[in-house]
Structure formats: structure tokens, C-alpha cells
Structure 1
Amino acid sequence: MAMTEGTSQVMEAKKEPIWVFGYGSLCWNPGFEYQQSITGYVKGFSRRFWQGNTTHRGTETKPGRVATLVEDKEGITWGKAFLISAENNAALPYLSNRECQLGGYRTCVVNFHPRPFYTSSTSSTTEKKDALLYIAVPENRHWLGAAPLPDIAKQILECQGSSGYNVEYLLRLADFMREEIPEALDEHLFSLERLVRKFASDMKICLKSLMGEEEEEKAEVKAVVPSYQFASRVPEKKLRCVNM
């Protein structure tokens, strides 16, 4: 695996369509335009919440924890790949700022394997593809490294940044995996999810409010509540009983 901070610039200079593999927030919030997206996996890596975040999901004094990949010969990490057109001049600079400048990630190129579900005799979507991968390594300034799962879960539950609460990042990723790739196994991710939900319940923390779902539900209810503001303008009518 060749890793370099200039990989995205080199691929962008080729002016060819580029696949980008997401395994964290890109799965449910890519934030850029793309031609196509497919679920699948990369080999030789395992997902871990070992990377710190001081912008989107934490602060300098209270960093959150987000996903990165660690090399694992037997590992398989599932996620989603996005095809960026050669004409899209905004996507890679956006990702470079989001993942590298702010997030502390580097880039490398890996083989992405589309999910077998996409198998088609007339389609090339099942062929493995070169994909750009953003990955954090221990040398970066945001690296937090391994810790007991309960400690990681509590840290995730307590932190927030400019993009929202750290817990939203974790739970939306777990939801994505469960809904889009139910056959995928990720004990680290789902163990953290279980612990976060348990701690939130013990501490009587409303996870819906941390994910912004309560406000969305209130807005939806408000939108469907009928208005009676014109009711007083309708003249009353008196009914008479008539014997037939």
C-alpha cells in the first residue's frame, strides 16, 4: 500500500473519473457531487475509532473520536465507493480540506471490491477498482490510538464539534451498515454502538436530541397540524327541526 499526501492531486491531474472509498461519515454524508455510488469492501484493513477530531466532532480541548483504518492481514472493511467525474473540479479539493487539512488523514490507493449484490453479466460494477482512500496514521497530530471500548464509548457520548455531536457520527454509521450492508460484520463498531446506547440510557441522555431527530419530528408534526385561523369567519347557521 503506497501512502502519500499528494495522491489525490496526482489522480486529479490525470483528469479521469476517480473512485473514492468511504468508511466513516462519507457513507451517510458525502457532501460532494458524484456520478455513481456502490457498496463494497477493501481487504487488509479493520475499522477502528482511534482517530481524534477537533473540528467536526470535537474541539481542541475535548477531541471526539472518528473512524480510521488499521492494517490487518485478515481484515475486511465495508463501506461505500463514490465515482467522481473528471469534470468535477470541486470534489477532491473539498475532500482534501475535510479529510486531510482538518481531519489529519493521508491518502492512498487501494483495491475496492463491489458488493456481490451488484453482479451482472452486462455490467463492470463487480470488477475491483482502484479507489482513493483517506486514512489516519499514528504519526498525525490528531491520533488517539487504542483504548478500552467503554472509555471510547464515553468519549464519543460526551463530545461535539461544528458538525454536531460525536455520537451522531457513530450511530449514523452503524445504521448505514445495518441497513445497507446487513451481512457485514464489524464487532468494533457495533460494540461501541451498544455501549453508547447503554451509557445514554443509564445517564438518561436522549440520543434523538443529540442526533437532531427531535427537532425534525417537531417540524414534521408542525407541518401537518391543521390550521383553524379562518374558522371564526364562517357564519354560524341555526338548524330547525321539521316534522315530515
Structure 2
Amino acid sequence: MPVPADMDEFWVFGYGSLMWNPGFDYLERQIVTAHGFHRALCIRSWVHRGTQERPGLVLGLDRGGACRGVAFRIAPEKWEWVVAYLRERELVTNVYVERLIPVRFSDGSRKTALTYTADRHHHQYVSGLTVDHAAETVVGAQGKSGPNTDYLRNTVAHLRELGIRDSWMEAVAERIDLLQAAD
């Protein structure tokens, strides 16, 4: 999906590691809300935060609810590069679906943003995890981008810095701390 030629602004919506590690230059960053989706640890990570033998868990934007995250406005001359970069980063195993979705800014205005949603039909998608099961999966998993625990802790810390509370993610992080303290 190329960036539509009729767009006067190009925004990228991040709800996980993209919030704190976008990997691209941007003109502006704002906290926004995407309605109809929620942040979930619903993707088994076989590359960045785990392996096929020891999968980790990473976030997906799953259907239902609302998700506060970060929108990045990209300079027009960087649109194509940013899309290519995001495809290489996010579509490694095709567990995400590239989509343009509406996001709402704090002033009530709405814009369209590029994001990557979870593909519920992909074999890496998982749902219904308990806090304990999620924490046990994350502990000990590591991929080419580092330990899965770092990913989870960084995400929770950055959510808090942005004033975004995610009680389920926070509960998983607390359980991970308990599991690691017991070792």
C-alpha cells in the first residue's frame, strides 16, 4: 500500500516499541487515540524478541476498544523511505497488516495514520493469555533486538512517561520482576 498521493500530511501511529524507538526522523510527535483497536501482547515473536524454538511476546494492535499511542508526522520527502523502513521492520513474518486508520488528537481533530495491526489469522497470533502465562513467555526469550524483558519494561516505562496507563502490561511487568527475583 503506497502512501496515498492526495494526503497533505503523513502520520505514523505507534503503540509499542515504535513509541520509544521509531527508527526514523519526524517533524512532530503527539499523543493520540485510535478507536476500534487496543494494545495487546498478542504476537509470538520469532525474530526481534524470541526465536521459533523460544518465542517471545510483542505487542499487536488488536481489534476492539481504544488505544492511546504516539503519532509521528513525517516530512513529505521522507514518506517513501519511512514506509519502506517500517515494512522491513514490521512485516518480517507478515503477522501484521499495514493499514491506514483514523486517530484522534487531544484537540479533537482527526487525521489518518499508517499503522500495523495484528493479523488474527496468522499462526503467530495468540489471544486470551493470563498475566502469568504472558510473563512466563517473556522471561528468557531473546531475539535479534535483545531480551523480551527489555522490550516489555521499556514499553511500560515509556507508556508511563507519556502519561498512558496500561494496567495489564503493568501487571505482566510486575510478574516478570517477581519471577526474576525468585531465580
TM-score, length-scaled by structure 1 = 0.69
Q: Which residue of 2 aligns with 1:62?
A: 54
CA distance in structure 2 between the partners assigned to 1:69 and 1:152 by the alignment? 16
Mapped partners of 1:33, 1:102: distance in 2: 25
**Is 1:47 matched up with 2:39?**
yes
From 147, 166, 176, the counterpart of 1:186:
166
Residue 96 of structure 1 corresponds to which residue in structure 2?
87
Counterpart in 2 of 1:172? 154
The CA deviation at 1:141 is 3.4
Is structure 2 residue 136 aligned with structure 1 residue 145?
Answer: no
Counterpart of 1:84 (choices 74, 79, 85) is 74
Structure 2: distance between partners of 1:128 and 1:136: 22
Change (3 A) 1:104 1:193: same
Q: How many correspondences in the alignment? A: 182
Write the letter of the residue equivalent to 2:44.
G
Give the RMSD, CA atoms, in angstroms: 1.8
CA distance in 1, matches of 2:100, 2:8: 15
State the 1:12 CA deviation: 5.4
> Does residue 24 in structure 1 map to residue 6 in structure 2?
no
C-alpha change, 1:23 and 1:141, in structure 2 (3 Å) is: same
Say which structure, 1 or 2, has more relative contact order (CA 8 Å, 6+ apart): 2
Counterparts in 2 of 1:66 and 1:156: CA distance versus 1, 3 Å: same
Matches within 5 A, 1:155-234: 155-181=137-163, 184-203=164-183
1:94-146 deviation line (CA, Å, top 9, x unaligned): 101111234621112222122x3xx5xxxxxx511111120112212322333
Distance 2:129 2:18 in 1: 24
Structure 2 counterpart of 1:76, which letter? A
Cα distance in 2 for residues equivalent to 1:81 and 1:29: 13
Q: Secondary structure at the match of 2:123?
A: coil
**Counterpart-to-counterpart distance in 2, 1:157 and 1:59:** 13
Label 1:153 to 1:103 Cα distance change in 2 as closer, same or farther (>3 A).
farther
Q: Which of the pair is proportionally richer in strand? A: 2
CA contact (8 A) 1:171 1:193 kept: yes
Question: What is the aligned partner in structure 2 of residue 106 from structure 1?
Answer: 97
Task: Assess, with a 3 A threshold, how the Cα gap between structure 1 residues 160 and 113 changes in structure 2: closer, same or farther.
Answer: same
Paired residues of 1:53 and 1:65 also in contact (CA < 8 A):
yes
Matched, 1:133 2:93: no
Instruction: Tell me the amino acid that sits aligned with residue 166 of structure 1.
Output: N
Offset of residue 158 of structure 1: 1.3
Task: Name the amino acid aligned to 1:135.
Answer: T
1:15·1:86 contact (CA, 8 Å) conserved in 2?
no
Task: Decide whether aligned partners of structure 1 residues 142 and 16 sit closer, same or farther in structure 2, where only a CA change above 3 A counts.
Answer: farther
The answer as to whether partners of 1:15 and 1:87 remain within 8 angstroms in 2 is: no
Measure the CA separation in 2 of the matches of 1:62 and 1:111.
35
**Greater C-alpha Rg:** 1
Gaps of 5+ in 2: none
